[in-house]
């Protein structure tokens, strides 16, 4: 990087982007840097760091709405919400565990609020509560033209016309530079516990998770870990595959629903208390049990849950990989050897209509393959038109989402 711009006021941000647009100077848009290994390598000599837009601008616990600078540390936001018995429903993960970094489970979580929204990051609760984009009701940003704009506000009814918060969520900083975000928050559950089923194969685990999610027992987490991966979640596992189901809410309701799940699913099971349940789901959301360090790379596969057994069976014939299933079987995380052919991974999804993203790998590797699932021609053309309307010269994070030329960005379908 030749120069690092660190604005802390919207006027400064707009001025920098107007200069960059006039001179056609590409910029690498960054926040806390915790997701630098996701997406294609950015081809820009200068960095635009938004960490200076930090701080809580407005928080109304009674209205369940929070507005903060995009550079505000996620740990600061979560600590504030926890102090009022509230939380981010979409359960954003901590990207530091990817790549093999071992972290203290009690340490503050990495990342910034703007980074979470720009990447549309969500954790195990997504299938029940929605993704990050579903809770972003307002934002302020500056486009690649250097034009400031805002969308939405502090109440849900303000989101009328084009819902720009949803469009910019998952765009990875390729459409605009966010400097303020407004999110809807939710009360934290009074109680959260988990039911563990041991020893199920993939097909049986998917059937169990589907039955639980289709029942009246309101499950907020459903994941399956094969034995080698589950072993890294000790003391929860005892050498067998692990299927975990989480139930949240008032304590009497949680007890009743867990008993109902035990009766529905049968077999041997184990109940986890609140502390152990929280630790297990943090580990699953952060992908802590998956080995990625060394000669490994991480793929994120979205697929119909019913297709998971066949997809895993097909992949096992061509590569040796560690994996875990999250979100009821609809999300498959695959840790496989470096340089695994992208065609091998994506071909396994052709029959079921899923899509795959190379989620963590070296910059060299990410420069060689299409990191995000290639789009059909009509959708790719629409994405290019959207990119051109926000950033006609392609100065924002060129290369992050597409290996095409700078003016041909796309918005992610993987989040």
pLDDT bin (cut points 50, 70, 90) of residue 238 is low
Residues 374-399, buried b or exposed e (16+ Cβ, 10 A)?
A: ebeeeeeeebbebbeebbebbbbbbb
Average pLDDT (152-179) is 80
What is the structure's pLDDT at 387? Answer: 95
pLDDT bin (cut points 50, 70, 90) of residue 13 is very high
pLDDT bin (cut points 50, 70, 90) of residue 406 is very low
What is the structure's pLDDT at 161? Answer: 53
Q: Report which of 95, 121, 86 is spatially closest to residue 32, judged by C-alpha positions.
A: 95
Q: Please determine, looking at this structure, whether the domain spanning 1-188+376-415 carries the CATH number 3.30.465.10.
A: yes
**According to CATH, what is the number of the domain 296-368?**
3.30.70.100
Q: Has residue 405 got a pLDDT over 50?
A: no
Q: How many residues does the structure list for the chain? A: 415
Vertex 115: Cα angle to 118 and 332 (nearest 5): 75
Half-sphere exposure of 57 (CA within 13 A, CB side): 20
Least confident of 79-83, 200-204, 208-212, 285-289: 285-289
Question: Please, where in the chain does CATH 3.30.465.10 lie?
Answer: 1-188+376-415
Q: Has residue 154 got a pLDDT over 90?
A: no
- Residue 166's CB is within 10 A of a number of other CB atoms, namely 18
**According to CATH, what is the number of the domain 191-285?**
3.30.70.2190
Vertex 140: Cα angle to 135 and 145 (nearest 5): 130
**Are 72 and 56 spatial neighbours (Cβ–Cβ below 8 Å)?**
yes
pLDDT bin (cut points 50, 70, 90) of residue 263 is very high
Q: Has residue 303 got a pLDDT over 70?
A: yes
What is the structure's pLDDT at 367? Answer: 92
Condensed to tens digits (0 to 9), the pLDDT of residues 29-50 reads 999 888 888 899 999 989 999 9
**Are 114 and 178 spatial neighbours (Cβ–Cβ below 8 Å)?**
yes
Q: Has residue 96 got a pLDDT over 80?
A: no
Radius of gyration of the chain (CA): 21
**Residue 160: phi, psi to the nearest 5?**
-125, 165
Question: Please, where in the chain does CATH 3.30.70.100 lie?
Answer: 296-368
Q: Has residue 163 got a pLDDT over 70?
A: yes
Tokens standing for residue 249: 């809410």
What is the structure's pLDDT at 100? Answer: 47
Question: Please, where in the chain does CATH 3.30.70.2190 lie?
Answer: 191-285
> Of residues 291 and 180, which shows the higher confidence score?
180
Residues 24-38, buried b or exposed e (16+ Cβ, 10 A)?
A: ebbbbbbbbebbebb
Tokens standing for residue 83: 């102090």
């Amino acid at each position: 990087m030749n120069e690092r711009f660190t604005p802390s006021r919207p006027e400064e941000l707009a001025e920098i982007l107007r200069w960059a647009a006039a001179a056609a100077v590409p910029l690498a848009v960054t926040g806390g840097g915790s997701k630098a290994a996701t997406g294609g390598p950015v081809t820009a000599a200068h960095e635009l760091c938004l960490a200076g837009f930090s701080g809580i601008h407005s928080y109304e616990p009674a209205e369940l709405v929070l507005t903060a600078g995009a550079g505000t540390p996620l740990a600061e936001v979560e600590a504030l919400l926890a102090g009022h018995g509230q939380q981010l429903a979409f359960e954003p993960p901590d990207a530091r565990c990817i790549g093999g970094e071992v972290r203290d489970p009690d340490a503050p979580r990495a990342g910034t609020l703007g980074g979470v929204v720009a990447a549309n990051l969500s954790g195990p609760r997504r299938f029940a509560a929605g993704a990050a984009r579903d809770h972003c009701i307002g934002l302020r940003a500056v486009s690649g033209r250097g034009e400031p704009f805002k969308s939405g506000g502090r109440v849900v009814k303000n989101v009328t016309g084009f819902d720009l918060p949803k469009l910019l969520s998952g765009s990875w900083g390729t459409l605009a530079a966010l400097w303020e975000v407004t999110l809807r928050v939710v009360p934290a559950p009074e109680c959260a516990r988990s039911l563990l089923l041991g020893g199920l194969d993939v097909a049986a685990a998917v059937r169990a998770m589907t039955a639980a999610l289709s029942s009246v027992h309101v499950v907020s987490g459903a994941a399956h870990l094969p034995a080698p991966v589950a072993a890294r979640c000790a003391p929860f596992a005892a050498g067998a595959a692990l299927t975990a189901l989480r139930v949240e809410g008032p304590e009497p309701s949680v007890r009743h629903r867990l008993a109902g799940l035990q009766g529905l699913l049968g077999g041997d099971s184990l109940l986890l208390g609140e502390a152990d349940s929280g630790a297990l789901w943090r580990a699953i959301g952060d992908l802590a049990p998956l080995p990625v360090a060394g000669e490994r790379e991480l793929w994120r596969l979205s697929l119909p849950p019913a297709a998971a057994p066949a997809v895993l069976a097909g992949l096992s014939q061509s590569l040796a990989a560690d994996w875990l299933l999250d979100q009821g079987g609809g999300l498959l995380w695959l840790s496989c050897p470096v340089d695994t052919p992208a065609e091998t991974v994506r071909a396994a999804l052709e029959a079921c209509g899923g899509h795959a993203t190379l989620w963590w790998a070296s910059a060299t590797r990410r420069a060689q393959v299409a990191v995000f699932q290639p789009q059909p021609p009509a959708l790719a053309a629409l994405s290019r038109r959207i990119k051109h309307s926000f950033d006609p010269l392609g100065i924002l994070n060129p290369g992050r989402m597409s290996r095409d030329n700078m003016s041909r960005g796309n918005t992610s379908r993987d989040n």
